[in-house]
Amino acid sequence: MDEQTETTSEAKAPFSLTLWWSTIIGICAIIILGSVFVTKSYLNRRHHEIENWRPPYQAKLEKDIELINRDGKQVNLGQLKGKVFIAGYQYTDCPGGCLGMAAIMQTVHKEFSKDPRFHLVSISLNPKDDTPEKMNAWVKDKGVDEPNWWFLTGEQDEIWKYMSTEFLLPVPVENTDPALIATEGKYRHDQRLVLVDEGGNVRGYYAVMNPQFGMREIRRMNREIKMVLDPELRLKDFAEEIEKERKEAEAEIERQQQQDKD
């Protein structure tokens, strides 16, 4: 019995430290190479996604709404199917912000007015006071009288509900403080512009009235309007423009940091 045990023990292969380390190193190499491959694939995919990025689908105008244009004619947003349009809140008694918004929209109009597929829509958040006649007079006085630019009024509750549920804009808040009314107007409201494509899909929101980065938002909006109007355009087609904006932003940050130090 002892001789058999001894023979069995001698038959066992001796432990090889070299073989063990070779196996461990091989496994680690496989893991590292696999990680490099996965990382490279991910970076390549991200690079492709960034270069080929297009404005995302953020909401959809599922329902329609009938409103009154400044010329007194009834219109509905469904009539704009097949067109790309920019929409936003506005009202004639606004002390300043809405006029600034109209000025920005007018620059957009100048950029895209030659394209029959493009349209602008300003919707009153104070339709109780904004009659078609009042809005028409305001439009002519401010020099924003354009045929492909609707200024719409209607029922306040209906407009507020539609803008919040379809455009996903916050419901306006009525100011009661006289100081706020003097500076902000009767209502505090979202001052972003919204980009809607030919299928009624919301493709972008733009804080064009932001005092810090409003100009960059305007450029971004114009760029994305072009992309929605032309399905062949990708972000890489604006690489030079974006790089210029990046450098401008970095320079602005440096100026701010220097001012903080001073």
pLDDT (tens digit, 9 = 90+) per residue, 90-107? 999 888 788 889 999 999
Determine, yes or no, domain membership for 144.
yes
Q: What is the dihedral of CA 161, 166, 171, 172, to 10 degrees?
A: -100
Determine, yes or no, domain membership for 7.
no
Determine, yes or no, domain membership for 83.
yes
Pairing of strands 66-69, 201-206: unpaired
Determine, yes or no, domain membership for 35.
no
What are the CA-CA distances from residue 46 to residues 51, 52, 143, 223 (Å)?
A: 8, 10, 45, 21
Q: How many domains does the chain have?
A: 1
Q: Tell me: the pLDDT tens digits for 211-232?
A: 888 999 999 999 999 999 999 9
Determine, yes or no, domain membership for 253.
no
Q: Tell me: the pLDDT tens digits for 54-69?
A: 899 999 999 999 999 9
Neighbours of 71 (CB within 10 A): 13
Closest residue by Cα to residue 55 from 246, 245, 242, 230: 230
pTM: 0.77
Q: What is the domain-level CATH number for residue 181?
A: 3.40.30.10
Range of the structural domain that residue 218 is part of: 59-247
Determine, yes or no, domain membership for 184.
yes
Determine, yes or no, domain membership for 170.
yes
Which run of H or of E encompasses 30?
helix 17-51
SS3 109: helix
Determine, yes or no, domain membership for 53.
no
How large is the average pLDDT for residues 108-119? 95
